[in-house]
Structure formats: structure tokens, C-alpha cells
Amino acid sequence: MAAYVNMDTLRFMLFQVHQLGDIFQYPRFADYDEESISMFLDSVKDFSDQELYPCFREMDEQPAHFKDGKIIVHPQVKVLMEKSAELGLIGATFDHEHGGMQLPGLALQAAYFIMESANNNAPGYPGLTAGAAHLITSFGTQELIDTYVPNMMAGAWGGTMCLTEPQAGSSLSDITSTAYPQPDGSYKIKGQKIFISGGDHEYCENFVHLVLARIEGAPKGTKGISLFVVPKKRIQPDGSLTSNDVVTAGDFQKMGQRGYCTTHLVFGEQDDCQGWLVGKPHQGLSYMFQMMNDARISVGRGGVSVASAAYYASLQYAQERPQGRRIMNNGEKDVSKGQTLIINHPDVRRMLLLQKAIYEGSLSLILESTKYHDLQRVTTGEEQERYSLLLEMLTPIAKTYPSEKGRQAVDNGLQILGGYGFCSDFVLQQYYRDIRIMAIYEGTTGIQSLDLLGRKVTLQGGKALQLLVAEIAQTIQEAVGMQELAPYAKTLQGQLGQAKEVLDYLLPFAQSGDFERYLSDATLFMEFMGTIIVGWQWLKIGIHAQQALLTGNTPYGIEFYESKLHTMKFFFKYEVGKNSGLADVLMDDVVLTVLKEREHIS
């Protein structure tokens, strides 16, 4: 079995770096301890080894596809849905009252990370079902909950989120799907949705679509959008299922993640598609954003997962493949000796460390965000607001950094294999194709960057940003007292100063009403901030590694902790080190208008 994940690293991140133990004190999570979580993760790892990893290549080579009006997916999707339900991977974090086990989100995130590293085609099927069911439990009536959620938690019915329409793309203001009120309180739904992940297949007997649509006559823009539960099949009074006029019109064949179906759905072509409103009219987008925000972090986790799998695949190759020789002090190579393993070449080591630094730092960022998610769930008042703002602040970065930098990591993994990396017989090319979608799913990098700079930085007059800076400052303060870490703590402090300079330079554009200029380099700002935030995560990892080494409490072996410190140093040298150049670009006023003048692109 090829390695795709490192369980020691995952446990270290969960239990030491992110102190999962902290949250067991809250009544919601009182049933859990480290041991029970660890056993849960072991069972997910076994499931992934046995059922997910073995069919990963096959799901790519025999992709999900549309045939005779149906979506055909790999038969293992049946096992996936059943076993996911059995392991609690759909409803485990739900409240007891909804049949859940109140598992900490952190534990479930870790579980999905394992599954997704094993086979990134898989987690979307149970994951979106969980997200849709959670949305119904949060904002739906008791009747909606009783009707749909138990079958979804059992993996018998799938769930989806239906936002995108052909003419609107990322611009949700322009959604035209329409809901016509009916005398019985339900609605008739008409419209088309595209790019619907996991939207149909034979291994769920029903699908519960969460659909954004406008109630007839609603105002234009996002303020006229409502949310509906629209099942593929309606439930008849006798409990049997009948068609609800939701037709799968086709699918999208993709470059990667080919085992995860992407569908085109048509609602109400026969005027017989019934939907039920979730929550209040015209507030649909705010409800959907619960699911959307979780999905964004899941996409970031997808980036981490593929990068993890690619790292271990390329590491294994580098440890086994002999080629060339190390350079001697006279600059020559000794051809009388045998070849060395390629892991001994500095450039290969650089490519390995870059992958490790990106994937582990990103994993830490995903867990940090998820911890805020857990904490906002169990706290109240000001404390809750604090965690909620921190989560909002991190979400676009947690979605984007692993998607963008994870792609670079995988790219380096492929490069380590040379010509073989480009060949279909080796798995790296599949990871390379798969991870490319992460920068597009659930809001492209451009959209996330506008969210970060345009909305999150200025949220509540900058309060969210201040809270985040305070968190980072606390990590810096801890690290600055440790001799080994002090230089890196100071570097990170300097980066925060530079971020302030950049914002002091940019914000006046917004204040003077030139929003387009303010936001024109948002994607670069995202790249700049992402490196700072992951630098923060690495400093945190460094603190816990160094503490282990200083106290001698090293359950994973000394080398494990030294490797973490080493990778932290690598990240600071090679990634944080480059960030000053980005700051220069962001504060360059020579060609302010470079992006504004349409005429000069041809």
C-alpha cells in the first residue's frame, strides 16, 4: 500500500498543535477524549486503505459519465455511501436531537482529510450530503427535518447544493430559477442548474437538492434569492417515492476528479417540480452561506489532501530511485561509484520540502479554521462573536492557500519523477489534474480574494482583522521566548508590519471611493496574506515541536519533531522570504491604471 497520509503528523496537529483537548471541556463534546477520537480516525484510515485508495486510479480511468439519461458512477460509490453512514461520516457532528453524535468538527475534518488523501473522488458524495442535511437542520422546519434528514444521514439519499446557472456563473445576483407559490404553501420550481457535484447516480434512491431560486416577483440581485428543498423524488402519502420532475440533462466531463460526477439538472420542465421554502423568503443566500462557507473550507482541505497524497508518492519515488551522483568538492562527480538515490540531490530535497511545507502548513490552517468553527458553536456572546469573526476572516484564505499553493506542491511532486511524472502509469499526473479544480470550486481564487480584501478586511470596521492579528501576536510572543524560534518570530512580526503598510497604502483608495483600484490587486494581496498566515501556522507547529524536544516528551520519536522544525525553517526561508517582493508590487504606484484600461489588451 502506497502512503498517502501520515497519521502521526495528523495526530500531532490535532492533539498538540491545535489542542483538541481544549474543547472536551464543553458539554457538547463531553463524551469524547483523545483516545476515542484516535480510534475513530483509525477506523477511517482502515476504511480508506481498504475501500477508497484501491479504486482511486480506476475511478479516473473509468470516469463518471452520462448515459441514457442517467449518471453512471463507479460501483464503489455504493460502499462509500453505506460505510460513510455507518462510520458516522455524514451526521456525526449533528446535535443529539437530530440523531447526531455531537462529534467535534475537528475530528470529522481530520477524518475527511484521510479519506480525501486516499481518494479525492470520494468525500464529496457523503460530504455534500452532510452539508445539505446540516442546512436543513439549521434553518428548516421540523417537518422538513423529519422528512429528509434521517435518510440523508443513513446515506440512502444524497444531498447537493444548487447555485450556479449557465448564464450567471459566479454572479449569484443573476440567478433566474423561479419559484411559484402554491396554495398548499409549497412552490413550483423552474430553472436550470449546472456544475452540480454529486447531483445524481444510481446508488442513492433519492437526492435532496438545496436550490437557490427567486420567488416570482422577488427583487433583483442577491436580496431576492430564496432557498428551497427540492427532492429528485417526492414522497407520496404512503411513503413511496414518485418523480418530482428533476431531470438530469447531462454531465460535465472534466480534466480531473473524474470519478466525482458533475451534473446539469433541469427543474420543472414538465411544470411538475415541487419545492419547499427553507427559512424566510429572500434570505436564501444567507442560509446557503452556512453550507457554502463550510464547503469552502472543505475545498481547502481537498487541496491539502491531494498535496499530501502527492507528497508521499513523490517521497517514496525519491527514496527508491537511483540516479546521478552528488557533486564532490572539486565540482566533479565520481562515475566509478554507483548512482545515488535522487533524494540526495539538493534540488530534489528542495522540491520535497516545498511540498511538505505547503501541505503540512495548509493542514494546520484547515484545522485552525475548524477549531474556530467548533468553538463558535459552543460559546456565546462576545466570545462566540470573536470565534465567528476569526472564522470568517480565515475562510477565504483556508480555501485559497491550499488550492493555489497545493497545486504548486503537486507540480513539484510530479517534477521529481521527471518523465515518469508525466506518464499515465504513475499517479502524480492524476493528482496534478485533480487538484486544479480546487481553485475554481465554491468561488474561484479571484472571488475569494475579493471577499478577503473587500469584505473581510473591512468587516466591522476592521475588527475581524484585529482579532486575527492578536491571535498571531500571541503565537509570536510565545515563540520569541524560545531561543530556536526567536528569529522566526521576529520575521513574522516584520511580516505583520509589512501587511499593515500594504493596507495603509490600499485602504485610502476604498475610502476615496475608488473601489475598483482598491480591489484590483486583491489576488496578489491574497497570496501575500496567505504566506503570512501559513507562516503563523508554522511558527505554532514549531513551538509545539520545540517544546516536545525540550521536555523530552517525544512520542513520535525525536526525528519527527526535528523534521517539523526543519520544515518550518524551510518555509520561512523559501516562502516567507519571497513575500517582501509581493509587498513591493502591492505598493507600486507607477502603473496604477494597468488593469483599468480595457483597450490595451489584444
Give me the active site residues, please: 442
Closest C-alpha to 448, from 389, 406, 399: 399
Nearer to a second copy (CB atom), residue 14 or residue 522: 522
Task: Report in angstroms how near the CB of residue 247 gets to a second copy at its nearest.
Answer: 20
Which residue in 132, 84, 113, 85 sits closest to 18, CA to CA? 113
Residue (169 or 497) nearer to a second copy, CB? 169
Contact 461, 470 (CB under 8 A): no
Taking the least distance from each CB to a second copy, the nearer of 187 and 525 is 525
Q: Which of 489, 494, 516, 517 is nearest to 586 (CA)?
A: 517
* 126, 135 contact by CB (below 8 A): no
Closest to a second copy by CB, 22 or 584: 584
74 contacts: CB under 8 Å, gap ≥ 6: 55, 58, 59, 62, 64, 121, 259
Least Å from the CB of residue 569 to a second copy: 4
SS (H, E, C) 63-95: CCEEECCEEECCCHHHHHHHHHHHCCCCCCCCC
Specify the amino acid at residue 227. L
Instruction: Give the distance, in angstroms, between the CA of residue 468 and the centroid of all CA atoms in the same chain.
Output: 20
Instruction: Say which residues have a Cβ less than 8 Å from residue 184's Cβ, sequence separation at least 6.
Output: none
Q: Which is nearer to a second copy, 156 or 168 (CB)?
A: 168
CB of 242 to a second copy, least distance (A): 32
Please state, in angstroms and as integers, the Cα–Cα distance from residue 218 to each residue in 181, 188, 223, 283, 456, following that order: 12, 15, 8, 11, 28
> How far is Cα 557 from Cα 86, in angstroms, rounded to an integer?
34
User: In angstroms, what is the minimal distance from the CB of 600 to a second copy?
Assistant: 4
**Beta strands at 226-231 and 274-278: parallel, antiparallel or unpaired:** antiparallel
Q: Which is nearer to a second copy, 26 or 420 (CB)?
A: 420
Residue 290: count of CB within 10 angstroms of its CB: 14
Nearest to a second copy of 375, 519 (CB atom) = 519
Least distance between a second copy and beta carbon 579 (Å): 6
What is the distance between the alpha carbons of residues 499 and 583, in angstroms, rounded to a whole number?
8
| 133 alpha carbon, distance to own chain's centre | 19
Query: What three-state secondary structure class fits 241?
Result: strand
Distance CA 124, CA 109 (A): 13
Pick from 261, 195, 187, 262: which is nearest to 231 by CA? 187
- The half-sphere exposure of 80 on its side-chain side, counting CA atoms within 13 A, is 34
User: What are φ and ψ of residue 123, in 5° steps?
Assistant: -65, -20
Q: How far is the CB of 252 from a second copy (least distance, A)?
A: 5
CA angle centred on 582, ends 581 and 588, rounded to 5°: 90
Cell numbers found for residue 43: 477506523
In angstroms and rounded to an integer, the radius of gyration of the C-alpha atoms of the chain is 25
* Closest to a second copy by CB, 8 or 22: 8
Comparison of 12 and 372: residue with beta carbon closer to a second copy:
12
In whole angstroms, the minimum distance from the beta carbon of 211 to a second copy comes to: 18
Nearest-approach distance from CB 512 to a second copy, in angstroms? 9
CB 131 within 8 A of CB 152: no
Say how many Å lie between the first and final Cα of the chain, rounded: 51
For a second copy, which is the closer residue by CB, 102 or 445? 445
User: Could you tell me which of 157, 236, 138 has the C-alpha nearest to residue 199?
Assistant: 157
Q: Give me 317's grid cell.
A: 519515488
Smallest separation (angstroms) from a second copy to the CB of 79 = 27
CB of 217 to a second copy, least distance (A): 15
